[in-house]
Amino acid sequence: MSIQFLVEARAGAARAGRLTTSHGEIETPVFMPVGTVASVKGVSQEVLEELGVEILLGNTYHLYLRPGVEQVKKLGGLHKFMAWPRSILTDSGGFQVFSLSDLRKVTEEGVTFRSHLDGSSHFFSPESAMQAQIGLGADIIMAFDECTEHPAELDRVRQSMKLTVRWAERSKKYFEEHKQEVPWNRLAGNSVCSVQTQALFGIVQGGMDRALRKESAERIIGIGFSGYAIGGLSVGEPRALTREIVESTLEHLPNDQPRYLMGVGTPEEIVEYANLGIDMMDCVLPTRAARHGLLFTSEGRISIKQARWASDEGPLDPNCNCRVCGRYTRAYLRHLYASNEILAQVLNTIHNLSFYLDTMRAVRHSISLGRGARFLSEVWSRAKP
Amino acid sequence: MSIQFLVEARAGAARAGRLTTSHGEIETPVFMPVGTVASVKGVSQEVLEELGVEILLGNTYHLYLRPGVEQVKKLGGLHKFMAWPRSILTDSGGFQVFSLSDLRKVTEEGVTFRSHLDGSSHFFSPESAMQAQIGLGADIIMAFDECTEHPAELDRVRQSMKLTVRWAERSKKYFEEHKQEVPWNRLAGNSVCSVQTQALFGIVQGGMDRALRKESAERIIGIGFSGYAIGGLSVGEPRALTREIVESTLEHLPNDQPRYLMGVGTPEEIVEYANLGIDMMDCVLPTRAARHGLLFTSEGRISIKQARWASDEGPLDPNCNCRVCGRYTRAYLRHLYASNEILAQVLNTIHNLSFYLDTMRAVRHSISLGRGARFLSEVWSRAKP
């Protein structure tokens, strides 16, 4: 087996579970911080451990370009390279190819694209994306997909969804033939438990059409994966539509396997999707917003750049136990941001991640008591600093 | 009393001592990391504590411009503002006024200068520089001086030195009349020991002329300060000349008070100056170099940006116990730097500060055993990575 997943409690559609990978246990629902090029920007791995991060997300597209898959593989895989002994998930590269690179050309075979770094030309196919992700050696890797743009004509969405299904088949085939090549499989005694290969997840596409989502889910499940992701959302559609598509797609996903909603969301959204039965989420929002001075607190959002905080001697969030809220004042954090100090980015990111992880811990606790977790959003919606 | 200073051991001219301020004890010789605008760039205060930092340096010029002295004072002074309970020293602002600002105009009264941030016009006199430093509330503050440029005609150096003496008298006078206004003096029970006011240090100038340095030292000592700094060095002169001036100036400074050499230096230099009898030093070198990828190790200097480190699985410095060397490889640090990741600056700075502080700990230990500390430079000079 590559992973184990146990649902331990339910509350309505929501579930609290335990996902075991080759590098440890993850309590679900889980929010995965994004470590784009093998680093969560500004936060050292020991602080991530202190925050209780159990799984990180790495971006295959970025790592493929720099430092390169062969380089990471030669150095023992991502875990060893970045000194992170806990679990890692890599995305397929598909989303970044579609959102970051220029001059991409999609054929049945794969995608030709230009690097956003230096304009050099590259090619990703389902096979090469699998090869890259096996070389990087994350615990959970993703089938190569086309992230359908929004809005798109229904026929375009259908063709794109079908391409993703054919790419999923090829991804699965390549993975099954090459999964023993994962770097840490060679390193005897280096795994936390007896699980020895990576887990491959499939991705459901189908745009904003419920019928195409159902067809995609059924066909991807037919191929057979260790878990299922919902892709192609949070691409500009209204949030009510996102929710509708998530809810309708979840009806078609297996109950006993992990369900991963890619690229979401705000604190309110991650609570809402956990309530709907999502087990895994990732988003750059807490880390990117932190670097721009937008901080999430139990009393609402704070734009720390504002002059109103310049003399505020209170902690960023009086209900937060993170090392930032335990030591520094809003006045100091505002000063660091206004002075363009590196420490502003570091401390802001630590707090936002702490807030997201605390939120998920509260959600899990609530589910384990058989209660829904929407109460958090209701608390937040009343708070206006 | 404002500070206490005890020399506990001697080895030749070198001494190991203990400096007690209102916020704690400092073992000397000590290297003071620079926290320009109330932050050592990229390193949080809890990590500075872990590194064993006992005293930080803050720049009056920078803090005066941003967030402003009144703001810091209103928030209880620098210690409270930046959540740093240990000792702080602020410089007089003189050096930055001379090195960073445009259109400065020096008169007997003081210096008119333009902010490097927004071009606004400001004026520092001995009185206003004291007022600023009392408002900021560091444990040790510096008399306002003119940092003589190099090279300069002997008569120009003499006139500048004499101006610094007159400004030192005015600094002392203002300080004695206003020293009770320090922010933390109002906060009962907040000090570590019974010492309740700041300590004012005088600065010896006199350029590269031994006779003028002697005259400056005698006149500054005549005014009477809690400690004495040697200023106006490391301004472009050859290192042999720096050493000669330091050595000759030290002959004229009191044996029983702290001696502070401002703005030095490399690891080799801080060892050398400690050997000559200097008790305190500060420099942006370890932190600034770190941000540019230049790392100090027991095996010599490493430019981490170089491709030669891309596959190096060893620690940055095998003889270093810092959290960076304990966890990350040179390959990973090189990748972070090449990818322009914030974490590169954070980790590099932590290591360089650790190296400087470890060096000073080794020097103190060596002196306490009655041995000189030059052995370290000899070890380093043999090491070539």
pLDDT digits (tens, 9 = 90+) for B141-176: 999 999 999 999 999 999 999 999 999 999 999 999
Least confident of A198-212, B275-289, B371-385: B371-385
pLDDT digits (tens, 9 = 90+) for A66-91: 999 999 999 999 999 999 999 999 99
Q: Do A83 and B329 touch (CB under 8 A)?
A: yes
Burial A269-299, CB ≥16 within 10 A → b, else e: bbbbbbbbbbbbbbbebbbebbbebbbbbbb
Q: Which of B136, B8, B131 is nearest to B62 (CA)?
A: B136
What is the average per-residue pLDDT within A49-77?
Answer: 97
Within a 13 Å sphere around the CA of A49, how many CA atoms are in the beta-carbon half? 9
- Judged by a CB distance cut-off of 8 A, whether residue B335 touches chain A is yes
Q: How far apart, in Å, are the Cα atoms of B318 and each of A259, B51, B268, B289, B322?
A: 44, 17, 19, 20, 10
- pLDDT for A384 equals 55
Q: Do B338 and A66 touch (CB under 8 A)?
A: yes
- Judged by a CB distance cut-off of 8 A, whether residue B33 touches chain A is no
Residue type, A226: S
Within a 13 Å sphere around the CA of A148, how many CA atoms are in the beta-carbon half? 31
Q: Is B293 left (phi over 0), alpha (psi -120 to 50) or beta?
A: left
Q: What is the DSSP-derived secondary structure letter of residue A34?
A: B
What is the average per-residue pLDDT within A346-364?
Answer: 97
Please tell me the distance in Å from A27's CA to the nearest CA on chain B.
25
Q: Do B339 and A66 touch (CB under 8 A)?
A: yes
ipTM given for this complex: 0.95
- pLDDT for B185 equals 73
What is the average per-residue pLDDT within B1-10?
Answer: 93
User: Has residue B287 got a pLDDT over 50?
Assistant: yes
Task: Kindly report the number of other CB atoms within 10 A of residue A73's CB atom.
Answer: 20
pLDDT digits (tens, 9 = 90+) for A126-154: 999 999 999 999 999 999 999 999 999 99
Does A282 qualify as catalytic in the annotation? Answer: yes
- Judged by a CB distance cut-off of 8 A, whether residue B85 touches chain A is no
User: Has residue A245 got a pLDDT over 80?
Assistant: yes
pLDDT digits (tens, 9 = 90+) for B10-66: 999 999 999 999 999 999 999 999 999 999 999 999 999 999 999 999 999 999 999
Return d(Cα A272, Cα A233) in angstroms, integer. 15
Q: Do B39 and A343 touch (CB under 8 A)?
A: yes
- Judged by a CB distance cut-off of 8 A, whether residue A38 touches chain B is yes
Q: What are phi and psi of A217, to 5 degrees?
A: -60, -50
Q: Which of B226, B245, B274, B257 is nearest to B161 (CA)?
A: B245
Least confident of A171-180, B92-101, B234-243, B367-376: B367-376
User: Which of A39, A331, A341 faces B75 most closely, judged by CB atoms?
Assistant: A331
- pLDDT for B381 equals 62
Cis-peptide, bond into residue B265, ω within 30° of zero: yes
Least confident of A118-122, A237-241, A244-248, A339-343: A118-122
- Confidence band of A97 (pLDDT split at 50, 70, 90): confident
Does A91 qualify as catalytic in the annotation? Answer: yes
Strands B14-21 and B4-11: antiparallel
Within a 13 Å sphere around the CA of B57, how many CA atoms are in the beta-carbon half? 22
Q: Which of A276, A195, A261, A183 is nearest to A229 (CA)?
A: A261
In sequence order, the 6+-apart residues with CB closer than 8 A to the CB of A180 are: A197
Task: Kindly report the number of other CB atoms within 10 A of residue A130's CB atom.
Answer: 28
- Residue A22: alpha-carbon gap to chain centroid: 18
pLDDT digits (tens, 9 = 90+) for B178-209: 999 999 875 544 444 444 899 999 999 999 99
Residue recorded with tokens 């095998």: B318
- Confidence band of A198 (pLDDT split at 50, 70, 90): very high
- Confidence band of B254 (pLDDT split at 50, 70, 90): very high
Q: What are phi and psi of B87, to 5 degrees?
A: -75, 155
Q: How far apart, in Å, are the Cα atoms of B162 and each of A126, B33, B204?
A: 77, 30, 10
CB-based contact B284:B302 (threshold 8 Å): no
Ordered alpha helix ranges (H), B137-209: 154-178
pLDDT digits (tens, 9 = 90+) for B59-112: 999 999 999 999 999 999 999 999 999 999 999 998 888 887 776 899 999 999
- pLDDT for A374 equals 65
The residues with which B9 forms a beta bridge, in sequence order, are B16
- Confidence band of A94 (pLDDT split at 50, 70, 90): confident
What whole-number percentage of chain B has pLDDT above 90?
A: 88
User: Has residue A192 got a pLDDT over 50?
Assistant: no
Return d(Cα B289, Cα B356) in angstroms, integer. 12
When computed from its CA atoms, the radius of gyration of chain B, rounded to whole angstroms, is 20
